[in-house]
Chain A
Amino acid sequence: MEDVYILAVESSCDETAAAVVKNGREVLSNVIYSQIDLHTLYGGVVPEIASRKHIDKINQVVAKAIEDSKTELKDMSAIAVTYGPGLVGPLLVGVSFAKALSFASNLPIIGVHHIEGHICANYIADKELEPPFMCLVVSGGHTHLVKVADYGEYEILGRTEDDAAGEAFDKVARAIGLGYPGGPKIDKVSKTGNPEAIKFPRAKVGGSEYDFSFSGLKSAVLNYLNTASMNNEKIVTEDVAASFQQAVIDVLVGHSMEALDRYGFKKFAIAGGVASNSSLRAAFEKACEDKGVEFFLPPPILCTDNAAMIGSAAYFEYKRGIRHGLDLNAVPNLKLGER
């Protein structure tokens, strides 16, 4: 069988990324230009600033990905690009650039769903992993419990009704003075905090039984901080962080394990930026072990936004014969499984 090389581009948020992936599982290069320092000044991602940075860096990032991979543009089978979901300005830079590059080099263009990319990071991390399995995608913009029926076939079992898990991390981190980005900072200080110090709520929501809600938890943390400050009580940042983090993890693990019981999957994977949280990884590892379910998780570099995962997802799309046209557009609210 002929080898398939995909050059992938990702620019849906604040990382300009490009990668070359062979046969969907072998990463030949993975270049990420992170703008995080720039957005830290504003306490979060500013779409217009992110878009401007993407256009400044995209050629250099793509050129470096090709160079690092020891391949050439002419060796590619296709060019892939994230076309949603994400911030429209940043997405448009990647989509416009990748389409033009595909046109100029006479290669097919494949638009990839960002969340499908996150899930596919697991195919890179474990070369033996095959569907069906269940995957929890947790990031700054997304919280989805997904049934992966086959390559490219997804069904959402649960999603957040309000804030994404990562968004809650950012908001709570800001409230307790840790700053942006919240995920890694809360993860770090939680290590010295007591996760049982404060009882924050574990929300059950009305919609699907596997849906999530994190805005109530966020409000509970803010209320706790206000009350404590009014009563002149000492706030132990580490304890607040650890207790908040534990509440998030309990809900994520709880819902996931219930869904595993119900659907009877033998494999469970996590993906997305929040999946690089060390306590979350440990909690899932233990929960899966207790259940006798095989657990998969990508290394942190493949959890945060990257283009290697997009190249992997595109490979399976390529094999299914999926190609897009030169009119491919950015779709900021693209639904999972939508073509």
Chain B
Amino acid sequence: MKILAMDSSGLVASVAFLEDEKIKGLVNINYQKTHSQTLLPMLDDLLKTLGEDPKDIDFLACANGPGSFTGLRIGVATVKGLGMGLCKKVIEVSTLEALSLNWPKAEGIVCPIMDARRSQVYAAAYTFGENDTKPVEVIEPVNCEIGELLERLETLGKKVYFTGDGVPVYKEFIESNLKVPFVFPIAANEYQNAANVAILGKIYANEGKAKDACDVTPVYLRKPQAEREREALLNA
């Protein structure tokens, strides 16, 4: 099975090519250019380097959120265009679940946190049991205050393995407030990585979860500001 995967939900643009058990190629760019300038050229380069024809892939996979609204849409719009042009199905993978593979088989709770600004995070938590083939969700993907997340992690009572671009932002806060043991990743392991998207994509493809390109949609976990303000006004 050949899967072409991408993640542009955060600072890093990442594309990966998986064939069966192997990640044949992975390109990450963490640079000032926008994802709209980098993502597709990276994908083109990767396929050319591997000598792969895009028509031969079986599935596309895309991290569909949460994350930067614009970044998510660049990735999702790209995968929707590819899916339509190549007539291939798409597997949506949660950005947070993909991040959790930065700590594969950690004995405790893996907690990806993404900076959502204004002391908020996008976060979830997962465990990996010995016989699990994929992460098991113990806190569903949420958009909440960092303090609220730490309280929920404490109730789980296990060591927490953090990852995600929220780590450098909330490191000090976590160190001062979290009452259960925790570990931070090495800096390079904080970021999104499309290889993780490809690995989970393969699992979900085997579970029959691939979708038509037209049905792929970003998961924002947060309503647009104008909509929130309007609702507040209507409820007042």
A59 adjacent to B84 (CB under 8 Å): yes
A55 adjacent to B80 (CB under 8 Å): yes
Do A326 and B230 form a contact, CB below 8 Å, given A49-B224, A100-B79?
no
Do A100 and B82 form a contact, CB below 8 Å, given A55-B217, A63-B214?
yes
A206, chain B: closest CB distance, angstroms: 36
A268, chain B: closest CB distance, angstroms: 37
User: Quick check: is B120 within 8 A (CB to CB) of the other chain?
Assistant: no
Interface size class of A (residues with CB under 8 A): 35 or more
Complex contacts, B226 vs chain A, CB 8 Å: 42, 46, 48-49
Complex contacts, A89 vs chain B, CB 8 Å: 69-70, 73
Contact pick for B74, options A48, A59, A96, CB 8 Å? A96
**Could you tell me the distance between the alpha carbons of A94 and B213 in the complex, rounded to whole angstroms?**
15
Q: Nearest B residue to A44 by beta-carbon distance?
A: B226
B85 adjacent to A104 (CB under 8 Å): yes
A96 adjacent to B36 (CB under 8 Å): yes
Binds A, one of B38-46, B136-144, B155-163, B198-206: B38-46
Complex contacts, A102 vs chain B, CB 8 Å: 81, 85
B70 adjacent to A101 (CB under 8 Å): no
A62, chain B: closest CB distance, angstroms: 7
Total number of B residues with any Cβ neighbor in A under 8 Å: 35
In this complex, the member of B41, B79, B214, B220 whose beta carbon has the largest number of chain A beta carbons within 10 angstroms is B214
User: Quick check: is B67 within 8 A (CB to CB) of the other chain?
Assistant: no
User: Quick check: is B86 within 8 A (CB to CB) of the other chain?
Assistant: yes
**Could you tell me the distance between the alpha carbons of A63 and B87 in the complex, rounded to whole angstroms?**
12
A329 adjacent to B36 (CB under 8 Å): yes
Contact pick for A99, options B78, B86, B220, CB 8 Å? B78
Q: Measuring CB to CB, which residues of chain B are less than 8 angstroms from any residue of chain A?
A: 34, 36-41, 43-44, 54, 69-70, 73-74, 76-86, 213-214, 217-218, 220, 224-227, 230
Q: Which 5 A-B pairs have the closest CB atoms?
A: A104-B85, A100-B81, A96-B77, A59-B214, A48-B224
Inter-chain pairs besides A96-B74, A103-B85, 15 sampled, C-beta below 8 Å: A42-B230, A46-B224, A46-B226, A48-B225, A51-B70, A58-B77, A59-B213, A60-B214, A88-B70, A92-B73, A97-B78, A100-B40, A103-B44, A104-B54, A329-B37
A to B CB contacts below 8 Å, 29 in the list: A46-B226, A46-B227, A48-B225, A49-B224, A51-B70, A55-B73, A55-B76, A55-B218, A58-B80, A89-B73, A92-B36, A96-B77, A96-B81, A97-B80, A99-B78, A100-B40, A100-B77, A100-B78, A100-B81, A100-B82, A101-B81, A102-B85, A103-B43, A104-B81, A104-B84, A325-B41, A326-B41, A327-B38, A327-B40
Q: Measuring CB to CB, which residues of chain A are less than 8 angstroms from any residue of chain B?
A: 41-42, 46, 48-49, 51-52, 55-56, 58-60, 62-63, 73, 88-89, 92-105, 325-330
